[in-house]
Amino acid sequence: MALYSEKVMEHFRHPRNVGVIEDASGVGEVGNAKCGDIMKMYLKIEDDTVVDAKFETFGCGSAIASSSMATELIIGKPLSDVAKLTNKAVAEALDGLPAYKMHCSVLAEEAIQSALEDYYGKHPEKRPQA
């Protein structure tokens, strides 16, 4: 029995979409150094669609794997879908996380929502009407 699923370890060892988008449409940073996980998410948005996403993460194995998986789940997706991404979906896509590590996948969800907020802040006209 390993600490993490094969899928988590695969994403942790070979994280997708690591890095920075210099001219990002929206950037979100969540977590803090006190609790031990920080995630920064960069989104490139065109035609109400996430055309690219990159991340930087300071954190444990599940934080890095969750960031990686989350970017894969949103690239190419319309913002309406991206807004609905949950940490549960991220964790499920990783074949599960240990219960005490679920908070790390919450950060991925929050980082994306925060980047979306940043984007809507700059482009209020794009914000979906409630």
Q: What is the Cα 65 distance to its own chain's centre?
A: 10
CB 4 within 8 A of CB 62: yes
CB 66 within 8 A of CB 72: no
Q: Which residues are catalytic?
A: 35, 104
Figure out which of the listed residues 6, 14, 35, 86 binds another protein, where binding follows CB under 8 A: 35
Near Zn ion in 59-88, by CB under 5 A: 60, 63
CB 32 within 8 A of CB 40: no
Q: Which pairing describes strands 49-58 and 37-46: parallel, antiparallel, or unpaired?
A: antiparallel
CB 43 within 8 A of CB 112: yes
Does the protein bind another protein through residue 58 (CB under 8 A)?
Answer: yes
Give dist(CA 53, CA 69) in Å, integer.
11
Does the protein bind Zn ion through residue 37 (CB under 5 A)?
Answer: yes
Stretch that binds Zn ion, among 4-12, 42-50, 99-107, 111-119 (CB under 5 A): 99-107
Binding mask 88-117 for another protein (x = CB under 8 A): ------------xx--x-------------
- The entry of Zn ion, another protein, none near residue 34 (CB within 5 to 8 angstroms by kind) is another protein
CB 109 within 8 A of CB 87: yes
Q: What does the binding site for another protein look like in residue numbers (CB under 8 A)?
A: 3, 9, 12-13, 15, 18-19, 29, 33-40, 55-64, 100-101, 104
Q: What does the binding site for Zn ion look like in residue numbers (CB under 5 A)?
A: 37, 60, 63, 104
